[in-house]
Amino acid sequence: MRELCIGKNEKNQRIDKFLRKYLSKASLSFIYKMIRKKNIKVNGKKVNSDYILKEGDSIQLYLSENTIEGFIEKKDIKEVKRNFEIIYEDKNVLLVEKPPGLLVHEDINEDKNTLINQVIKYLYDKKEYNPQEEKTFVPASVNRLDRNTGGIVIIGKNNQALQILNEMIRKKDYIRKYYLTIVRGNLQGYKELKGYLLKDEKTNKVKVFKKKVPKAKEIHTIYRSIKTNGHYTLIEVEIITGRTHQIRAHLASMGYPLIGDCKYGNIKENRIFKDKFDLKHQFLHAYKIYFEKSIDSLKYLEGKSYFSSLPKKLEKIKIALFT
């Protein structure tokens, strides 16, 4: 039998969700069966799978040590070099500037040098996170950027902060996210765009529709023109929903593709910017986060804005086109 004491980084979550992370190699049906058959108890009593854990609770696992160890995925610190910048940090929240070209999370092609692994190594070196002292918690991001999009990523440094940040992201009007981009064409004014987005998993591309189609997800994008030279326009974009390739596909569907965008852009235009500026990806940067509202222990962030400057290459293009 193994006994686990619930601390501040494990509280306020359902026991089945906690166990899915703690026994990450076990099937969900196995976890439910063990709870149902009283092989897993809380404070010596049977609980339902939706029981909310409280700090100080004691979970008893009436399983062999070999079984438990076989279901636990060992967590280690990846030895990666840090190449992100810190925009803001306190004991709860870390805002980092992700450079273009760096994945936020691991995928089938890259399982080591990612932003999250760099952040984990950074916090480990600061002695603010140690996977050996945590049962399930891992610092994580609440927003994500495409590999070739740079800018601000929000990280929760403890479980309470992570839960609050995720709730604020879900509420949509609490954390406002702004991007800078340059599109082909003369785009004027301010406009809210709504539609539906359908992703093709095989091609990793999306299509935008004006009307609802099966399996499509609603998208909501706002743009504001900043400056135009008649052929290209610098715009600020706010995303209300955060879908895959939303900004790129939504603007391209209107006839205003992002420069440098190999999936949704204009091939001829992209070649010009690659030859002249060595631009090999879309001109898109997550430059501003505004905490319009905040709650609970993160209330102190309310009303605050944080900014990320354009990378040198993108700034050079902006200056060349609009000065």
Residues carrying an active site annotation: 146
For residue 61, the cross-strand partners are 2, 40
CB 150 within 8 A of CB 311: yes
Reference 138, options 154, 153, 123; nearest CA is 123
Instruction: Spell 196-225 as b/e; 16+ CB within 10 A means b.
Output: bbbbeeeeeebebeeeeeeebeebbbbbeb
- Measure Cα distances from 189 to 158, 196, 301 in Å: 41, 23, 30
Going along 185-300, which residue ranges are E strands? 190-200, 205-209, 217-228, 232-239, 284-291
CB 12 within 8 A of CB 160: yes
The Cα–Cα gap between 69 and 55 comes to 24
Q: Residue with structure tokens 């604020």?
A: 168
The Cα–Cα gap between 320 and 305 comes to 28
The Cα–Cα gap between 169 and 163 comes to 10
Reference 208, options 184, 258, 260, 243; nearest CA is 243
Q: Residue type at 124? A: Y
Q: Name the token pair of 313.
A: 């290459």
Cα atoms in the 13 Å half-sphere on the side-chain side of 200: 8
